[in-house]
Amino acid sequence: MTMTPEQANWFQGTFSRLVDNVDKALMGKREIVSLVLAAMLAEGHVLLEDAPGTGKTSLAKALAATVQGTSNRIQFTPDLLPSDVTGVTIYDQSTHTFEFHRGPVFASIVLADEINRASPKTQSALLEVMEESRITVDGTPHEVGRPFLVIATQNPIEQAGTYKLPEAQLDRFLVKTSIGYPTLEVTERILAGSADRNPSASLSAIITTSAVSDMADLAATVHVEPAVLRYAAELAEATRVDKDTRLGVSVRGAIAIVRLAKVWAAAQGRHYVIPDDIKSLAQPAWAHRLVMDPEAEFVGTTPETVIARVLGVVAAPQTRAGAPV
């Protein structure tokens, strides 16, 4: 079954209303909100590399309120244990049975704050749940449900006492982006409403969590022409053979951008993906997956530079009337 034009129009309208609602709490960041929402509907996860105080917690709370879901915040610290994230099994003396106490990871939106401050062992506790949407404790699997989005943050300024995220874990984030500081005009609006310490609490839900799951399933039916799939594969291959990279985009990364492009196309009111969808999503979906050659890094070459270069070198398929020929 493929998405119809009528379903694409409905998807676009609903997506726009969701972004509008979150924008009431996170003013002036519609592009970032759209990207994070698209990642959730593509059933992926987001890594935010940002300075403190830019609205990361507000984003998570506003998104959860908009989809009538739950949100939890986990402050990652060096002494945080894996069980502090996933939960723990405790023996109940009154019933003589073991009872599982759920950790904060059981929520619709999980904000993993300063994930790079926790030990690698604790960081890895998130890997299974991010990939499988479930955790296993004492041999028993526990589903976290749908929708499920991890918004992990790391501070790019203070690196003392932090643990660098391994490439295998970075590859499990669908997109990496940053919120950034608002413009002067938006800052003025925020200050005018500063008496409200929790603007997300006043947001009304637009849809239910079950409807979010339905949107995710619907987005998966967006049509992708073989020529567009070939284009995404050629771009990924180009990052692997680029002279400035030691590790290019993995197969997981190529799959990720196609999943994200389907949601992005539906959010624009289209029931098919075009090459421009791949182009516009390449930077947030792929930049964090590249491992640069040390000599290239020394002269200032960045993953963004490599992606921009391959986008200019690899020819996009020709289109006619908006759809690939």
The backbone torsions φ and ψ at residue 206, rounded to the nearest 5 degrees and listed phi first, read -90, -45
Q: Label residue 102 left, alpha or beta by phi (over 0 means left) and psi (-120 to 50 means alpha).
A: beta
CA pseudo-torsion sign 66, 67, 70, 76:
negative
Mean pLDDT of 78-93: 88
The backbone torsions φ and ψ at residue 99, rounded to the nearest 5 degrees and listed phi first, read -120, 135
List for the chain the helix, strand, coil content (%; round to 5).
50, 15, 35
What is the predicted pLDDT for the residue at 258? 97
Gap between the Cα atoms of 151 and 176, Å rounded: 10
Take residue 95 and report the two structure tokens written for it.
């019933």
What is the predicted pLDDT for the residue at 9? 96
Report whether pLDDT(318) > 90. Answer: no
pLDDT tens digits along 270-316: 999 999 999 999 999 999 999 999 998 899 899 999 999 999 999 99
pLDDT tens digits along 217-243: 999 999 999 999 999 999 999 999 999
Please identify which residue in the block is written with the tokens 């930077």: 283
Gap between the Cα atoms of 212 and 178, Å rounded: 24
What is the predicted pLDDT for the residue at 155? 75
Please state which of the ranges 71-85, 189-203, 253-267 shows the lowest mean pLDDT. Answer: 189-203
Please state which of the ranges 39-43, 205-209, 320-324 shows the lowest mean pLDDT. Answer: 320-324
pTM of the model: 0.90
Cα torsion through 162, 160, 156, 104, rounded to 10: 40
The backbone torsions φ and ψ at residue 187, rounded to the nearest 5 degrees and listed phi first, read -60, -40
Report whether pLDDT(250) > 80. Answer: yes
Residue 213 pLDDT class (50, 70, 90 cuts): very high
What is the predicted pLDDT for the residue at 283? 96
What is the predicted pLDDT for the residue at 196? 66
pLDDT tens digits along 118-173: 888 888 888 778 888 888 887 788 888 889 999 998 877 665 556 677 777 788 89
Burial (Cβ within 10 Å: 0-12, 13-18, ≥19) of residue 10? middle
What is the predicted pLDDT for the residue at 312? 94
Gap between the Cα atoms of 222 and 174, Å rounded: 18
Report whether pLDDT(38) > 90. Answer: yes
What is the predicted pLDDT for the residue at 321? 47
Cis peptide before 82 (omega within 30 of 0): no
Cα separations (Å) of 301 from 67, 74, 296, 298, 309?
Answer: 40, 34, 5, 7, 11
The fraction of the chain above a pLDDT of 90, given in percent, is 56
Residue 47 pLDDT class (50, 70, 90 cuts): very high
